[in-house]
């Protein structure tokens, strides 16, 4: 598919991630008005003033997570559900939280209709994470944070990665935090991105 070639040209190297992305019908995850452009490397509105991430952003975040079959993954910011499907197709057990009830309901229904009913969706504030189901092998934040939330880091398993964009409202740096065997946290950065804001509370 042409979108995957574009992503390869943009430097995406993880073929497993591209394969999973090519199996998710992106045109079903965004506003109908934008359907014909769904396979371009562009972010689009999904309702409730939110967007489905640009494919390059999805590919980058997913590659950084290094998903292994059976990984328990927490996604913060369900949005359209597209990213959750990519994680699921890579073999993850996906737990995804959304703070906006309108999106939560619409996406939960869509995931069921498309056969992704095993993805567990939650209406809640992602700042709290999901302590009931912690620890998670991988944690992914798909909204732009201003700082690293302690709650999320504390729900990360040993050996696990937490991928989160951190910055101001115009631009965020992609961070990956890894909990090492000795208990230390390793941090790495991977360039600048632009996300919708990570907001507190549910709506």
The catalytic residue positions are 53
Residues 6+ apart with CB under 8 A from 10: 41, 56, 59
- In angstroms, what is the minimal distance from the CB of 51 to ligand SAH? 6
Residue 16 exposure: Cα atoms within 13 Å on the Cβ side: 14
Helices 55-65, 15-22: inter-axial angle, 10-degree rounding: 130
In the bound state, the residue with its beta carbon closest to ligand SAH is 79
Can you tell me the distance from the alpha carbon of 125 to that of 97, in angstroms, rounded to the nearest whole number?
A: 7
- In angstroms, what is the minimal distance from the CB of 69 to ligand SAH? 21
- In angstroms, what is the minimal distance from the CB of 43 to ligand SAH? 9
Nearer Cβ to ligand SAH (129/160): 129
Can you tell me the distance from the alpha carbon of 188 to that of 85, in angstroms, rounded to the nearest whole number?
A: 26
As beta bridge partners, residue 157 has none
- CA angle at residue 37 from 35 to 40, to 5 degrees? 135
Can you tell me the distance from the alpha carbon of 179 to that of 153, in angstroms, rounded to the nearest whole number?
A: 9
Q: How far is CA 64 from CA 7, 28, 88, 163, 178, in A?
A: 15, 25, 16, 7, 11
Nearer Cβ to ligand SAH (31/180): 31
Binding site for ligand SAH (CB under 6 A): 50-53, 76-77, 79-80, 82-83, 97-100, 103, 125-127, 142-143, 196, 198-199
Nearer Cβ to ligand SAH (79/167): 79
Nearer Cβ to ligand SAH (4/119): 119
- In angstroms, what is the minimal distance from the CB of 112 to ligand SAH? 16
Nearer Cβ to ligand SAH (4/58): 58
- In angstroms, what is the minimal distance from the CB of 54 to ligand SAH? 10
Which tokens belong to 165?
A: 């964009």
């Amino acid at each position: 598919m042409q979108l995957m070639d574009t992503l390869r040209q943009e430097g995406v190297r993880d073929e497993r991630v591209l394969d999973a992305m090519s199996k998710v019908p992106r045109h079903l995850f965004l506003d109908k008005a934008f359907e014909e452009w769904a396979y371009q490397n562009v972010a689009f509105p999904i309702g409730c003033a939110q967007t489905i991430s640009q494919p390059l952003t999805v590919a980058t975040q997913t590659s950084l997570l290094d998903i292994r079959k059976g990984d328990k993954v927490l996604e913060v910011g369900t949005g359209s559900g597209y990213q959750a499907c990519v994680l699921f197709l890579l073999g993850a057990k996906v737990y995804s939280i959304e703070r906006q009830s309108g999106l939560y309901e619409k996406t939960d229904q869509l995931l069921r209709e498309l056969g992704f009913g095993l993805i567990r969706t939650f209406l809640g504030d992602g700042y709290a994470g999901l302590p009931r189901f912690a620890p998670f092998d991988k944690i992914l934040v798909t909204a732009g944070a201003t700082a690293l939330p302690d709650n999320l880091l504390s729900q990360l398993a040993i050996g696990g990665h937490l991928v989160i964009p951190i910055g101001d409202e115009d631009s965020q740096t992609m961070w990956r935090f890894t909990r090492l065997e000795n208990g230390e946290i390793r941090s790495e950065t991977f360039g600048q991105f632009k996300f919708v804001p990570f907001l507190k509370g549910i709506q």
